[in-house]
Amino acid sequence: MRLFLCEKPSQGKDIARVLGATQRGTGCYTGAGIGVTWCIGHLVEAVPPEAYDDRFKIWSIEHLPIIPSVWRVAVKEKTAPQYKVVEALLAQSSELVIATDADREGEMIAREVLELCGYRGPIQRLWLSALNEASIRKALGCLRPAAETERLYHSALARSRADWLIGMNMTRLFTVLGRRSGHGGVLSVGRVQTPTLRLVVDRDRAIESFVPSAFWTIEVELTFQKQVFLAQWIPPASGADAAGRCIRQVVAQQALHSLQRSSEAQVIDVQTQRVREAPPLPFDLSTLQQVCSSKLGLDVQQTLEVAQSLYETHKATTYPRTDTGYLPENMLAEAATVMEALIASDPSVQALIQTTDIKLQSRAWDDKRVTAHHGIIPTLEPFRIQGLTATELAVYKLIRSHYLAQFLPHHEYDRTCVQLSCSDCALEANGTRIVQQGWHSVFIDQVVTLEDSELSVQALPALCVHASCSLHQVKIKPQKTKPPRSFTQGELIKAMKGIAKMVTDPRLKQTLKDTTGIGTEATRASVISGLLNRGYLYKKGRSVHASESAFTIIDSVPAAIADPATTAIWEQAFDMIENGQMTLDGFITKQTQWINQLVEHYRTTTLALHSTSGPVCPLCGASMRMRTGKHGGFWSCTRYPECLGVLPKAQPTSNTRRRTRRRPPSSDR
């Protein structure tokens, strides 16, 4: 029997239908010489330390580090019945086709089961980007040898074992150290979760310590040939900061008085630039999560679940867990079929589609930029759009719009900058004039792209050098600099993906690629959800903030583990294993050595917990910590936002415990 091993029941059902395996069994479909079954996600999991040795049931620093000599996995209790189904079918199979998701995790889900079951028969790989019938038939016609994707499995194992080594050893180490210092809970440490937490802790601290600076702007209302427009005063360098803001009130007041005594401004320079704006790429998962967070208010996990539903349940869009928005060049030939499917699914888009040109080849079609997957786009076949929920429909329309934009002209506009002089004061006016709407027509009433132009909507009159403009009104505006914005979940995803841009160390910046991130498209949402569920992050409106325990963890763990650059370098190592440039054993050996060094280095450390020795919350009795608001310092309950207890700042407490931090050993990656 030829057995197809899928990841989820829904995949199994779709593939079985195409194969003609119509007989439904327990946990499988069968047909003439064909079997289709599934794993329901991970059927097996890495065993905990106590499975290797009973003494590890007690958390003790003396037992650390815990390094398995032979790595073990065990069947998950919840899915044990399905594992038995797969095991029995494998015993009857003469040939296997791995049909799990086409990524590292999908490869690992299948191959760990095959290893545990001892399957030794021939293996092929089905590589799917969509679950509609045409895509399945196309993929079945070009099955890959299993050897081509085996390194994906090794890469996933490297990720899994690195997570285990850091999570099990560092969590036990710092939890025990925390208990010695009076912390009663678990201090959970993770390879990806801790650097992600560090991003939020650093941002919260930057906001809390931010001191606003005053600056002044002057807005001038001008008229030329009966058309009113606005100009901004340009302060002299002697009164401005590096960003060009006037930071000296006396300079702004002098300019205000000078302008108020004037009635005209002279144009001294006019510069107009024609700008051609290319359409945004189709979505990768991270970009989709950012847009849905910003525009639809969705959590990143919600966006992933909706995208997965559009892919699996409705067959409306392609595989969502992709890290690129680019498309294979040969898929351009399928554009006409996709357009027909879009109209059949939703006739209301027919008029818009008639304005597209499928002969256009945007920058999205680039084989060199396509990875194992391509951008998220609509599928080749119609689907029942009425079956979508309101949220699914909103996300589907975003995906569809980004695809249709590829077949419309560039958006073109003229950007004009006018320099004026008025009573020895320099003024500047900016404006735009749309020349061709182009792909922007797809986004009418729907701002969805992260590449939106930051343009003034002001239309300027036809100004020329030496023209005189009448001055009508002058306004001075006292302003203050603003602190960094709190992370939303979408912005946190963006920071995780683009972590290389945030690294300041010149050596690391050279090592990291611009595309290197922490976590993967498949895992970032679950990392953020895990931090929320553990109480290390909490939501306030659309933003996320670090809890008291988060500050304790970040202040306690080795800097290298909390440093996002470290995890980004690991992600590069996983890519190297996938590409054959590094071996799994070599990577784990180096990580084992590093874990040994860290345990020895921190074994006798005394933690200084972040929680204060300040007053007790009058509402719930928990401890309080000092925070800074717009009116100065105050005590806030450490259980905020669940508890809103506050007290005014009193005399400083004696909470002066400090921990002398020794320099930890660096990871030899």
List residues with catalytic annotation.
319
CA neighbours closer than 13 Å in the CB half-sphere of residue 603: 12
Q: Is 401 helix (H, G, I), strand (E, B) or coil?
A: helix
Contacts (Cβ under 8 Å, ≥6 apart) of 334: 380
DSSP-derived pairing of the beta strands 144-145 and 123-125: antiparallel
**Which H or E element spans position 528?**
helix 524-533
The CA distance from 62 to 65, in Å, is 8
* Total H helices, total E strands in the chain: 20, 20
Is-contact 402 421, C-beta < 8 A?
Answer: no
Tokens for 356, please give them.
């597209």
- Count of CB atoms situated within 10 Å of the CB of 99: 29
Q: What angle do CA 596, 158, 556 make, to 5 degrees?
A: 45
The CA distance from 517 to 289, in Å, is 15
The CA distance from 662 to 179, in Å, is 20
The CA distance from 382 to 316, in Å, is 7
Is-contact 429 271, C-beta < 8 A?
Answer: no
Tokens for 368, please give them.
């060199």
The residue to which tokens 């010489």 are assigned: 33
Contacts (Cβ under 8 Å, ≥6 apart) of 472: 221, 222, 223, 228
Name the burial class of residue 573, with classes exposed (0-12), middle (13-18) and buried (19+) by CB atoms within 10 angstroms of its CB: buried
Q: Is 635 helix (H, G, I), strand (E, B) or coil?
A: strand
Compute CA distances 529 → 106, 185, 193, 211, whole Å: 21, 19, 10, 32
For residue 443, which phi and psi values (nearest 5 degrees)? -105, 20
Tokens for 544, please give them.
């996320």
* Torsion sign across C-alpha atoms 577, 580, 582, 586: positive
Beta pairing partners, 218: 476
DSSP state of 346: -
Is-contact 319 311, C-beta < 8 A?
Answer: yes
The CA distance from 121 to 43, in Å, is 20
The CA distance from 438 to 92, in Å, is 58
Is-contact 183 555, C-beta < 8 A?
Answer: no
Q: Nearest CA to 298 among 493, 496, 8, 101?
A: 493
Contacts (Cβ under 8 Å, ≥6 apart) of 267: 418, 419, 420, 463, 464, 465, 466, 467, 468, 469
What is the DSSP code string of 405-469?
GGGSPPEEEEEEEEEEEETTEEEEEEEEEEEE-GGGGGGTT----TT------PPPP---TT-EE
